[in-house]
């Protein structure tokens, strides 16, 4: 049997010169039968490529296989690449062989279906070119952030998902029965990362986090991916610098490697170019309140800033930007109080432009045992439940800061998505789980 051409991904095959041999495999994305020729567009993990099966030239068994192939059938084809500006990617494969590995039944997604139906068949919808582009963007953003952290001396660690204490408040906890004892799905790895700074100093993790608040917005998930880090000997401004550099690294990584995917999604590349440089501006909460009032928003000092207020604030900026020094009563007990202005904390949010809002929340952590204990009591929490966390302030406490980055929100913004559900393969909502 004659040796087959080397197996290539569609992206590689499209780069070959006319007349060069290639073999590709994947799934049928589109198919047209025009009598003398069958045009089959094959989809794989890197893109699409058109295969032309000429009934007058291809072997009979190849023609028969192409005739039998249906949308989403698993197929393989080989032959010679020829340039053709009418074909996707500017080239096509003139088939000398075509194999049908698995014939798909009538595919239930035809085009034009509603969101609810597509969520019901999410396990099939994730094959779409649009969502596949998102998965590639997500992969590249995560890779770029990991490379940034690795090159800057951060240690990746693996904190638990089950916990006995709340980080952000009891109302948003998912309770589980842990062998007869009450436990919770983690809201954040922060406390565990704080413990680890006393051995590794600069630590980070990528985990799932869970929030049970009863809201369903375009940027809310009940299970989401959380990139968090903590650094010893660091103050709020140190963490803000890392947050800006990490975000810019993710954006630059996507711009360097995923322009084709961004264009497929219709993303404004210029907006991302501006975000690829980490010199992000910062405003205080006080200034944010004034900016909101200028736009006619009914808001007073001390009010929390929700999605609507953040959307208005983003209209003032064309890059990500920080909001700092929030009122103490709207932030978590572990945030360090500003000693010069005790009504505010040394906390910050990083907001993405174009209406996307918060993608990072962080702060300098309270490192004084007595002050932290009093803050726990002020919040009506049981100090006994935070005994081990308080211990961190008893044995070699140092200034330290950190933040959490919502990976799904970052991807939503970078990819220019309308809803966070499309930033993750299998989104979790309150009323249904898919699949």
Residues 6+ apart with CB under 8 A from 174: 184, 185, 210, 212
Q: What is the pTM of this model?
A: 0.95
Range 203-227 average pLDDT = 89
Residue 430 has pLDDT above 90, yes or no: no
Helix (H) or strand (E) holding 144: helix 129-151
Taking each helix axis as running N to C, give the angle between helix 236-257 and helix 407-415, from 0 to 180 degrees, rounded to the nearest 10.
50
Alpha-carbon distance 22 to 426, whole Å? 34
Residue 154 has pLDDT above 80, yes or no: yes
Write down the pLDDT at residue 212: 83
Q: What is the dihedral of CA 349, 208, 193, 353, to 10 degrees?
A: -20
Residue 169 has pLDDT above 80, yes or no: no
Range 385-412 average pLDDT = 97
44-58, 216-230, 278-292: which range is least confident on average? 216-230
Write down the pLDDT at residue 171: 61
Mean pLDDT of the chain: 95
Give 359-387 pLDDT, tens digit per residue: 999 999 999 999 999 999 999 999 998 99
Alpha-carbon distance 270 to 344, whole Å? 36
Give 259-303 pLDDT, tens digit per residue: 999 999 999 999 999 999 999 999 999 999 999 999 999 999 999
Q: What is the dihedral of CA 424, 430, 431, 435, to 10 degrees?
A: 30
Alpha-carbon distance 374 to 20, whole Å? 73
Pairing of strands 47-54, 37-44: antiparallel
Long-range contacts of 14-17 (CB under 8 A, 24+ apart): 14/47, 14/49, 14/81, 14/89, 14/90, 14/91, 16/81, 16/91, 17/81
Say which DSSP state 85 is in.
T
With a pLDDT cut of 70, the percent of the chain lying above it is 97
* Reported confidence tier of residue 254, pLDDT bands at 50, 70, 90: very high
Q: Which fold has domain 120-423?
A: BirA Bifunctional Protein; domain 2 (3.30.930)
Alpha-carbon distance 334 to 400, whole Å? 11
Half-sphere exposure of 268 (CA within 13 A, CB side): 10
Domain spans in the chain, listed from the N-terminal domain onward = 10-102, 120-423
Residue 1 has pLDDT above 60, yes or no: no
With a pLDDT cut of 90, the percent of the chain lying above it is 91
Alpha-carbon distance 294 to 37, whole Å? 64
Residue 165 has pLDDT above 70, yes or no: yes
Is 231:401 a contact under the CB 8 Å cutoff? yes
Residue 137 has pLDDT above 90, yes or no: yes
* Reported confidence tier of residue 431, pLDDT bands at 50, 70, 90: low
SS3 354: coil
Write down the pLDDT at residue 434: 62
* Reported confidence tier of residue 395, pLDDT bands at 50, 70, 90: very high
Residues 6+ apart with CB under 8 A from 419: 218, 219, 412
Alpha-carbon distance 426 to 226, whole Å? 16
Residues 6+ apart with CB under 8 A from 62: 53, 77, 95, 96, 97, 98, 99
212 vs 122, more confident: 122
* Reported confidence tier of residue 168, pLDDT bands at 50, 70, 90: low
* Reported confidence tier of residue 35, pLDDT bands at 50, 70, 90: confident
Give 314-341 pLDDT, tens digit per residue: 999 999 999 999 999 999 999 999 999 9
- What the block records as the tokens of 242 is 């890392």
Is 127:27 a contact under the CB 8 Å cutoff? yes
Long-range contacts of 245-249 (CB under 8 A, 24+ apart): 245/148, 245/152, 245/278, 246/145, 246/148, 246/149, 246/405, 247/275, 247/278, 247/280, 247/320, 247/350, 247/359, 247/360, 247/405, 247/410, 248/275, 248/276, 248/277, 248/278, 249/144, 249/145, 249/147, 249/148
**CATH class, 10-102 region:** mainly beta
CA-atom Rg of the chain in angstroms = 26
Which one, of 367, 411, 407, 410, lies nearest residue 389 by Cα?
A: 367
Alpha-carbon distance 374 to 391, whole Å? 14
DSSP result, 24-77? EEEEEEEEEE-SSEEEEEEEETTEEEEEEEETTTS-HHHHHHHHH--TT-EEEE
């Amino acid at each position: 049997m004659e040796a087959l051409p080397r197996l290539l991904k569609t992206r590689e095959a499209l780069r070959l010169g006319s007349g060069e041999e290639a073999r590709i495999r994947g799934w049928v994305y589109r198919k047209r039968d025009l009598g003398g020729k069958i045009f089959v567009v094959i989809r794989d993990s890197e893109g699409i490529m058109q295969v032309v099966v000429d009934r007058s030239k291809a072997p009979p068994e190849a023609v028969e296989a192409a005739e039998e192939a249906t949308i989403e059938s698993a197929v393989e084809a080989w032959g010679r690449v020829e340039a053709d500006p009418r074909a996707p990617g500017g080239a096509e494969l003139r088939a000398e062989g075509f194999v049908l590995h698995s014939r798909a039944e009538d595919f239930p997604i035809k085009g034009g279906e509603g969101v609810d139906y597509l969520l019901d068949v999410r396990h099939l919808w994730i094959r779409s070119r649009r969502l596949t582009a998102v998965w590639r963007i997500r992969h590249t953003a995560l890779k770029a952030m990991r490379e940034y952290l690795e090159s800057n001396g951060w240690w990746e660690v693996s904190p638990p998902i089950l916990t006995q204490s709340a980080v952000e408040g009891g109302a948003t906890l998912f309770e589980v029965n842990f062998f007869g004892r009450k436990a919770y799905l983690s809201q954040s790895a922060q406390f565990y990362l704080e413990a680890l700074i006393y051995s590794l100093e600069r630590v980070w993790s990528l985990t799932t986090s869970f929030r049970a608040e009863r809201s369903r917005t375009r940027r809310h998930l009940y299970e989401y991916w959380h990139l968090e880090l903590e650094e010893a000997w660091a103050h709020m401004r140190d963490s803000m610098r890392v947050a800006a550099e990490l975000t810019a690294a993710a954006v630059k990584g996507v711009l360097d490697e995923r322009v084709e995917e961004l264009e497929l999604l219709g993303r404004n590349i210029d907006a991302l170019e501006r975000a690829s440089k980490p010199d992000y501006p910062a405003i205080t909460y006080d200034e944010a309140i004034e900016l909101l009032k200028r736009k006619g928003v009914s808001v007073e000092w001390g009010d929390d800033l929700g999605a609507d207020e953040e959307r208005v604030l983003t209209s003032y900026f064309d890059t990500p930007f920080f909001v700092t020094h929030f009122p103490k009563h709207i932030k978590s007990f572990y945030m360090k109080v500003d000693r010069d202005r005790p009504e505010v904390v040394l906390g910050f949010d990083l907001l993405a432009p174009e209406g996307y809002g918060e993608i990072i929340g962080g702060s300098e952590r309270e490192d004084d045992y007595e002050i932290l204990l009093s803050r726990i009591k002020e919040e009506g929490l049981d100090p006994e439940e935070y005994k081990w966390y308080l211990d961190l302030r008893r044995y070699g406490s140092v200034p330290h800061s950190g933040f959490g980055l919502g990976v799904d929100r970052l991807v939503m913004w970078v990819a220019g998505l309308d809803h966070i559900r499309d930033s993750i393969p299998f989104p979790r909502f309150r009323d249904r789980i898919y699949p």
